[in-house]
Structure formats: structure tokens, C-alpha cells
Structure 1
């Protein structure tokens, strides 16, 4: 049983999987650090204003509509403008239907982003202080993701680094709230952990079983000291920009009755 604190609240979760032997490598030391030279390089993340208000609202509304479309594609009628904070009520206990929705919202082609990708790239470039592009050079992909985390469910990834998966080196991540993102549900992370050696925490070798749900991403299994996570909680007109080398995830949705939906996208130096 793994223990940690999120915003000083103690959480417990079960991680199962074959454990990898630790080593003293600092993964970021041999990689491109897109936080380098910024005022937030030490913490590895920043919360900042994102797009102009009309553009940001168009982004949020358009992404919420993509979720409605995905639910409709599974055979469930969804009224126009139905709030997707109530997604968990629509789906109920139908896990197969939920997974069908999730599958549609993974690796969405950028042409379906409700605002020009160039506008998002330009703002992320401003925050990083260097030109970036939303193009994965390892896989030649140009995609974004929508994550749905229902209250009281194991929908969130275990605590991990993105770079424990292949083809996520050298990039920077954004988390943009779509709906239901609150101090009780938004993404959590461990500030400064992008410079931790691998031996600072234990992890599974491959994918992890987290509270009974199977994930492809490895998960943190142990730590010599209790991990202190925070939820930076960007507001409706903000973005959370963070290093994929940071430990993040494990952000159980503690909202009493709201699904959290967020945009996830990655950027590499141009």
C-alpha cells in the first residue's frame, strides 16, 4: 500500500506490478530540459494565463462538445450543451461504454482542436522562452488527448513520470481544465521531482495495476519519505505547463459529484 499527501490530505492507494531495480540516473540530466532558463525551472511547472478569453472559451466549449460526440457514438443520446461534469451519471456503471468513450478521446488529430494549433504553440513558446511545436518527432504524431476522471473511480493514472514510457523524452506538457477541474480534482504533481534520481522512488518495471485498474504507464511503488504532492489547479483562463520528468498523476477526483475533464498536449523544441 502506497501512502502520499495531496495538499496535506493523506491518500492511500494500491500499486501492483513487477518492481524495477532502482538506479541513480537523473533522466533529465541527459535530456533536453524545456524548463531551463525559466523562472520556474526549479519547480518544473508554472500556472499562467493561456489564450485570449474568447479563444480560451472556444477551446473549452469545443472540447466539451467532443466529449458529447464521443458519448453519442456509443449509442447514448446526449442533449446539446449538456454539462459533461455529469458524464459519470450518463455512463453509470457501464465500464465497457466508458472505455469506448476513452478510446475515442485518445490521440485525437490536431485538426479537431477547436482553436488553431499555432496559437497554442505560440503561447507555450512564450512561456518556455523558445520555439516549440506540437509534433512528436519520435512517432511523427500531431495529436492531443482528453482525460476523463470520474469521482470515486480509478480513472486517473498512477503517480509516474511520462518519460517512463517511450517517445516522451525532451518535451513539455500542458494541462488545460475543460470542466470539473477544482482544488479537489485537478492534476497533482511533486514540485522539483524532475531532477530526482531514479533511486529516490521505487516503480514498476512495466505498466501498473492501480487500485485494481490496469495502466500501460509504470507507477511509483515506494518512497523512503512520504511524498508531498500539490494540485496547482489552473483556473478557467489559465494553463498548467509542466515537465514530463516531474512525478505527477495519482490525482484521484475528490469532487463529490463532478467529472473532471482536461486537455493534455505535448510540445517539442522546433
Structure 2
């Protein structure tokens, strides 16, 4: 079934699978019920904000280490490709769709050490900022959580459906760990390619959110996240475009997704990860 979303006033149509069951939940606000870790911030009303990166990590290091990691993956997969002059922004000029699929498989689960991140520094800085002792370890599963590299070629369909990050845990366990989302732009992020968010959507009761459970299908591609069709009587999103020396921090209860890359000739690369309250 064709479904419309509105991003910055522009209608975006996607094809959701008719066989996926959509419904609403109970009349409760999960952000309140599970004591959202961001509730004490001055941006909790919106559910997200943009911060300067300098106090948390070095953007130049992230760019160079990401470039090195992607070059290494491509070289291992296709050593015959000449990568002289390679940049992340021009990734799409070097990688066809088949190779891109292989690169995505290898870059989807990277840990901070793979990218030159100082884990201890990051945890200390974010813990200080939120006033909570944070960790990369999910207390619900007792596993260290990786960073997800999002590599989106121009005009491609490599983007997530509209979702909340808490739903996988909630649907499986009936509870949600205290966590926060970080979205880091590496390159190619602008008015055509930022991350769409639904301001204030984390404050809506589940009875006003129409969604699937146990994954969903959009544009014939299967996703692990539960897809959200509408919320609060609308499907409006605002595209946020942090600069290269900024990043987005947001509640894991916030609705977001559909991060199309509408650039004509520039790949968008970003990283996202979650930090959890340390128990």
C-alpha cells in the first residue's frame, strides 16, 4: 500500500507491505513509563537537539578513520579497484550496487576502536552532559552495542523506515532500557540529506501511534525495526542537518527515519549509536 509522509513540507510516497499488520497500542506514554534518560534536558520537549562535536569527539579523526575503514573493506572485497583519489563523498563513483551491498554488511557493525574513537572519553563526556553514568553495554542483553555506519549513495533507497528505536526491546521484553541516541554526520549531510525527526512524538501515547510489530517491509525491503505509519493524526517530519562539526542527540523514544539522500552527486555517510545507563 502506498503511504505518504511529509518531510519539511514535501510529500514523500513509499510502498508499505499490505501484509504487514498495523495497529495502535495502549493509552500510555512509554517515555514516561520507562523514565526517559533525556527527561532532565532542556530539549526534552522536542526530544532532540544539535550539539557541537568538539567537547565530545574529534570530527576530523572520525572522517579520516571512516575513510580508512571503508577503503580497507573495498580493497579486501575488490583489490582490482583503483582507489586513488577516493573520498567518502565520491564513494558512489567507485562502488556498484552489488559491491555496495557487501560493504554495508561489513560496515554495519563497527565498534568505537575500529574508528579511532576514545571510548572512555566519549562515555565520560556524555555521562557528564546527561548527568548519568553511561555505557556501550545494553543492560537488557548484557552485550556491547556496535556503531552503525549508514552509507547512502545519491538517490538510493538505503534508508530506514519511520520508527522508534525502543520498539524492538519493548515488543520482545515488555520493557525498555534507559538509553539515548547519537547521530554523527561524516559527510554529505545537507538540506537534501539530513535525518528526519518528528518533534515531540516521544510524548504521544501509544494509542495515537499506528505501527507494526516484529519488523516491517518498505519499498520491497525488509527491516528489523517496526514501521510507523502515522502519529498524532499526521505523518509530518522535520529534516535536521547538523554540520560536520555537530551531531544530533535524541531520545530513543522519538519517531525518526526516512533519511533519503536526495543529493545529485554526493554520498552521505553517518554513524549512529546508543549509550545506556550503566547499572
Q: Offset of 1:169 from its aligned partner? A: 3.2
- Which residue number in structure 2 is paired with residue 12 of structure 1? 13
- The equivalent residue for 2:173 is none
Compute the displacement of 1:53 (Å): 9.8
Q: Give the aligned CA root-mean-square deviation in angstroms.
A: 2.1
TM-score, length-scaled by structure 1: 0.91
Give me the whole-angstrom Cα distance separating, in 2, the residues matched to 1:78 and 1:9.
39
Shift of 1:9: 1.7
Matched, 1:166 2:169: yes
Alpha-carbon distance in 1 for matches of 2:48, 2:231 = 22
The answer to whether the 8 Å contact 2:201/2:231 transfers is: no
1: CA distance, partners of 2:40 / 2:231: 29
1:34 pairs with 2:37? yes
Unaligned runs of 5+ in 1: none
- Residue 212 of structure 2 aligns with which residue? 204
Q: Does the alignment pair 1:100 with 2:108?
A: no
Q: Distance in 2 between matches of 1:134 and 1:224?
A: 32
Q: Is the 8 A contact 1:68 1:84 kept in 2?
A: no
1:82 is matched with 86
2:163–2:255 CA contact under 8 A, matched in 1: yes
Aligned to 1:91: 95
CA contact (8 A) 1:3 1:226 kept: no
For structure 2, the residue ranges without an aligned partner over 5 or more in a row are: 171-175
Aligned pair partner of 1:44 in 42, 47, 59: 47
Over residues 50-77 of structure 1, what are the superposed CA-to-partner deviations in whole Å (9 max), with x where a residue is unaligned?
A: 2359922112211222122222222153
Matches within 5 A, 1:87-236: 87-94=91-98, 97-139=99-141, 140-166=143-169, 169-223=177-231, 225-236=233-244
Moved more, 1-10 or 35-44: 1-10
User: Aligned pairs, how many?
Assistant: 268
CA deviation map 1:229-260 (0-9, x unaligned)? 11221111111001111110012111111111
**CA displacement 1:78-111 (0-9 Å, x = unmatched):** 52561122222222232xx222111111222332
CA distance in 2, matches of 1:75, 1:119: 35
TM-score, normalised with respect to structure 2: 0.88
Q: Is residue 21 from structure 1 mapped to residue 23 from structure 2 by the alignment?
A: yes
